[in-house]
């Protein structure tokens, strides 16, 4: 862990308690005990000596391997204090977790303190509209439209019941616009790709939309294209919230645009990439949640790459914990240049966002020097756009890159309901690119 970061004594106490409890009492970590150098060593050194917990490990030891002896899981399920939830995704990505709503809510409340807008607006009683894929949260219906009453839960309104926005009609999106005006949410929580799609429609149709106090982007990494399309319609502040089902709320983007660690509810260990792939500021994170009595995870590999803020400071005045300049995207979304350098989905997006006429895209690397770019655009001169896109990609991946540009009406989401901006069609192990 870089010395520039500031951590409280409580953070180190929580880190030590989570580690010692897991090694002593949680059966999934029995084989990890030999890695521990012992209590005479600093807690950071003890964590760094440990392996990473993977989704494969969770599938192998779930559920009894992650609770303390004597904890009655069935009683918790029967009482409703906990439930089992499955994440969406591919077979390798799917995992079932123990869901503790009370802990999750507390983690969310702690993250609100890391942004001045959420600190002011989010009371826990505020009306909130949610525009996400119902495969992630909400109620799914691809056959019939659900009335507002069936999509309303306490202070939440789920705007969308379709599992793919390729099925959205103009009537469906008009309904979302009307409901925002009627419901008047203080916060709009949205999947950035879905909100961008709605914003493209609003801009094209010349409509106006209710402006909430804040838009919180979640479930996906927002791209420059998403922000460009959203800002054509919404003038309110935006913030990106980063977390996972397993670990709760991990980082929150502040009003200055940097990401602050939710140190009250989690520990984050940073593993840098090798110098030739990004150096000391770009790397993978492993997350250890705090205070969840029902589910004990240690150094969980969340599968994401982040970029550290090299100054270790932020104009917002918050300096507790790790500060990120950016989230760089999923490890599985990384691609390689012809020379073999790792390219994050954020770096790819920074390059492709130079093209003004793209609505959506997905890049598939089919071989070491071959790339297919799927593009959705409303421009009529497709050949000109293809040439411009190929030039941008050759500048990023190398002059020897073989680029194919395929024009689509829409880019469909993955089976998880989320969008994947890029991927290789051959195995890529992020561990091969980490600094040892």
142-195 pLDDT, tens digit each:
999 999 999 999 999 999 999 988 899 999 999 999 999 999 999 999 999 999
In this model, does residue 373 exceed pLDDT 50?
yes
- State the pLDDT at residue 1: 43
Confidence of residue 271 (pLDDT cuts 50, 70, 90): very high
User: H or E stretch including 300?
Assistant: strand 300-308
In this model, does residue 128 exceed pLDDT 80?
yes
Q: What are phi and psi of 162, to 5 degrees?
A: -80, 140
- State the pLDDT at residue 88: 65
Q: Of 397, 388, 335, whose CA–CA distance to 358 is shortest?
A: 388
- State the pLDDT at residue 4: 78
> Stretch 112-133: mean pLDDT, rounded?
96
Percent of the chain whose predicted confidence (pLDDT) is above 90: 91
Phi-psi region of 225 (alpha: psi -120 to 50; beta: other; left: phi over 0): alpha
b/e burial code for range 20-42 (CB count within 10 A of at least 16 → b): eebbeebebbeebeeebeeeeee
Residues 6+ away with beta carbon under 8 Å from 206: none
Residues 6+ away with beta carbon under 8 Å from 17: none
- State the pLDDT at residue 87: 81
Tens digit of each residue's pLDDT (9 = 90 or more) over 238-266: 999 999 999 999 999 999 999 999 999 99
Tens digit of each residue's pLDDT (9 = 90 or more) over 296-325: 999 999 999 999 998 889 999 999 999 999
Structural domains of the chain ordered from first start = 9-107+240-333 (3.40.50.12780), 113-236 (no CATH), 335-433 (3.30.300.30)
pTM attached to this predicted model: 0.95
Quote the mean pLDDT of the chain.
95
Tens digit of each residue's pLDDT (9 = 90 or more) over 13-37: 999 999 999 999 999 999 999 999 9
Tens digit of each residue's pLDDT (9 = 90 or more) over 385-432: 999 999 999 999 999 999 999 999 999 888 877 889 999 999 999 999
């Amino acid at each position: 862990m870089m010395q520039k970061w500031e951590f409280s004594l409580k953070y180190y106490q929580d880190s030590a308690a989570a580690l010692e409890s897991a090694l002593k009492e949680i059966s999934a970590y029995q084989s990890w005990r030999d890695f521990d150098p012992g209590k005479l060593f600093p807690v950071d050194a003890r964590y760094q000596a440990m392996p990473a917990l993977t989704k494969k490990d969770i599938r192998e030891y779930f559920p009894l391997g992650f609770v303390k002896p004597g904890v009655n899981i069935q009683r918790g399920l029967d009482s409703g204090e906990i439930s089992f939830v499955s994440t969406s995704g591919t077979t390798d990505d799917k995992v079932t977790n123990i869901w503790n709503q009370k802990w999750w809510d507390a983690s969310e409340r702690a993250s609100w303190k890391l942004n001045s807008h959420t600190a002011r607006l989010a009371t826990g009683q505020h009306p909130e509209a949610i525009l996400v894929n119902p495969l992630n949260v909400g109620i799914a219906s691809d056959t019939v439209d659900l009335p507002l009453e069936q999509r309303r839960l306490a202070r939440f309104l789920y705007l969308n019941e379709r599992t793919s926005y390729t099925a959205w009609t103009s009537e469906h999106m008009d309904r979302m616009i009307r409901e925002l005006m009627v419901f008047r949410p203080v916060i709009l929580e949205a999947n950035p790709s879905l909100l961008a799609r709605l914003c493209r429609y609003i801009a094209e149709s010349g409509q106006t939309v209710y402006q909430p106090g804040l838009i919180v982007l979640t479930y996906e990494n927002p791209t420059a294209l998403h922000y460009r399309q959203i800002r054509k319609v919404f003038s309110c502040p935006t913030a990106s919230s980063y977390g996972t089902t397993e670990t709760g709320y991990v980082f929150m983007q502040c009003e200055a645009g940097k990401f602050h660690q939710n140190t009250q509810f989690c520990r984050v260990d940073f593993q840098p990439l090798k110098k030739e792939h990004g150096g000391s500021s770009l790397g993978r994170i492993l997350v250890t949640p705090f205070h969840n009595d029902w589910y004990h995870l240690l150094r969980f590999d969340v599968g994401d790459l982040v970029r550290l803020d090299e100054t270790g400071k932020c104009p917002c005045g918050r300096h507790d914990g790790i500060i990120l300049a950016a989230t760089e995207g999923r490890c599985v979304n990384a691609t390689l240049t012809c020379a073999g350098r790792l390219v994050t989905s954020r770096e790819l997006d920074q390059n492709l966002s130079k093209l003004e006429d793209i609505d959506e895209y997905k890049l598939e690397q089919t071989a070491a020097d071959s790339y297919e770019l799927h593009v959705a655009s409303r421009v009529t001169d497709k050949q000109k756009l293809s040439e411009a896109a190929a030039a941008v990609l050759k500048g990023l991946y190398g002059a020897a890159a073989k680029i194919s540009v395929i024009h689509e009406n829409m880019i469909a989401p993955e089976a998880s309901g989320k969008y994947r901006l890029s991927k290789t069609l051959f195995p890529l192990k992020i561990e091969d690119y980490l600094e040892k």
